[in-house]
Amino acid sequence: MSTMSAEQVDANPRKRLDRLGKLVLDGGRISREDALWLFDLTAGPDILHLISWANRVRDQFRGNAIHLCSIVNVKSGGCPENCSFCAQSAAYETGAARYGFIESEPVLKAAGEAQDNRVNALGIVAAWKGLNEGPVLDEVCQRIRELASDGKTRPDASLGIIKSQAVANRLREAGLECYNHNLETSRRFFPAICGTHTYEDRMDTLRYLRNAGIKLCCGGILGMGETNEDRCEFALALREIDPAHVPLNFLNPIPGTPLEKRPLLPPMEIFKLIACFRLLLPHQEIMVAGGRVANLRDTQALMFFAGASGLMAGNYLTTTNQPVEKDLQMIKDLGFDIRREERFEPKQACPA
């Protein structure tokens, strides 16, 4: 019986998916050429075959547990940056709430609610360009110390661009375990969504954080007009950075922002994207974050079988999410557990 050549195998999409699925399960890395082919797959039975492999990869590398995290908006609106998807940019009239840095009580209250909802981590998030040495950093470190000593949830943060190694070190000394700083999209497409800071500013921030021994949470937004090649380059860039968590947001167009007229992504396209990220990032905690309900509606449950291993529970920064109880029931109904977070061990410095 004659064996099929590599060309013959790859000429058949299902056989090519089988080859790639087995490669990842055996610990291999998908090439850039195969990754581009995955992102270019179009709707149809091949997507379900891709999803079935992504589910096996999720199960083998992330097990049967789902990571939950929540966020609290500690400073809202009036941000000087102009990220074109963002309701909190001062550049756009979106009606988003505007308030200054909040006191401890609401943060600790949010931590209590998160713990009651079996949510592992609480991220303090602020709408500003970033963090420098000074009184604001002192207050931020105080909030982190309070969250860390409270012990109810893992203290996380998403506080924009970090301007120096010293700032990152202070956050770690205060007890910060994980920092969300998204690349948002590919290096090529980034200038199309933000004109007030650069992709390199974000890469520098990730380096400072990693060098300070802080766990990285780094993902982005899909559905902003990027190409499949952008999506592939974005996923490959994340693979080089090797963050612990990868939040995938799906654009929920906010009225008043430059992206307000963007169409929502079709759910099957979203499941394909989650599956592509899972095959390229088998070890990561791939979380479905913003835009989940707006884009997926009643099809949400399939996200876990497409490769997702986490989700953001509770309301977003300026828009509401579905009740946490509904998420917990969905996870239970699907036979998944809630992941309990193990203590964090710092990784080696970020690639140059």
Residues in contact with ligand SF4 by the rule CB under 6 A: 79, 81, 83, 86, 88-89, 127, 160
Q: How far is the CB of 318 from ligand SF4 (least distance, A)?
A: 10
- C-alpha distances out from residue 176 to 57, 142, 168, Å: 30, 11, 9
Q: Between residues 86 and 273, which has the closer beta carbon with respect to ligand SF4?
A: 86
Q: How far is the CB of 83 from ligand SF4 (least distance, A)?
A: 3
Q: How far is the CB of 293 from ligand SF4 (least distance, A)?
A: 20
Could you tell me the sign of the dihedral formed by the alpha carbons of 61, 340, 331, 158, in that order? negative
Q: List b or e across 11-32, with b for residues whose CB sees 16 or more CB atoms inside 10 angstroms.
A: eeeeebbebbbeebbeeeebee
Q: Between residues 28 and 195, which has the closer beta carbon with respect to ligand SF4?
A: 195
- The tokens describing 223, both together, are 């559905």
Q: How far is the CB of 304 from ligand SF4 (least distance, A)?
A: 27
Q: Work out the angle at residue 245's Cα, subtended by the Cα atoms of residues 117 and 48, and round it to the nearest 5 degrees.
A: 90
Beta-carbon count within 10 A of 2 CB: 5
DSSP class of residue 5 equals P
Q: Between residues 70 and 257, which has the closer beta carbon with respect to ligand SF4?
A: 257
Q: Between residues 151 and 195, which has the closer beta carbon with respect to ligand SF4?
A: 195
Q: How far is the CB of 192 from ligand SF4 (least distance, A)?
A: 14
Euclidean distance between CA atoms 312 and 298, whole angstroms: 17
DSSP bridge pairs for 310: 67, 287
Q: Between residues 127 and 222, which has the closer beta carbon with respect to ligand SF4?
A: 127
Q: Between residues 160 and 258, which has the closer beta carbon with respect to ligand SF4?
A: 160
Q: How far is the CB of 127 from ligand SF4 (least distance, A)?
A: 4
Q: List b or e across 321-344, with b for residues whose CB sees 16 or more CB atoms inside 10 angstroms.
A: beebeebbebbeeeeeebbebeee
Q: Between residues 34 and 184, which has the closer beta carbon with respect to ligand SF4?
A: 184
Q: How far is the CB of 89 from ligand SF4 (least distance, A)?
A: 4
Which of 211, 200, 197 shows the shortest CA–CA distance to 86?
197
Q: Which helix (H) or strand (E) holds 285?
A: strand 285-288
Q: Between residues 88 and 205, which has the closer beta carbon with respect to ligand SF4?
A: 88
Q: Hey, is 65 helix, strand or coil?
A: strand
Q: How far is the CB of 253 from ligand SF4 (least distance, A)?
A: 15
Euclidean distance between CA atoms 125 and 106, whole angstroms: 13
Between helices 267-280 and 228-241, what is the axis angle to 10°?
Answer: 30
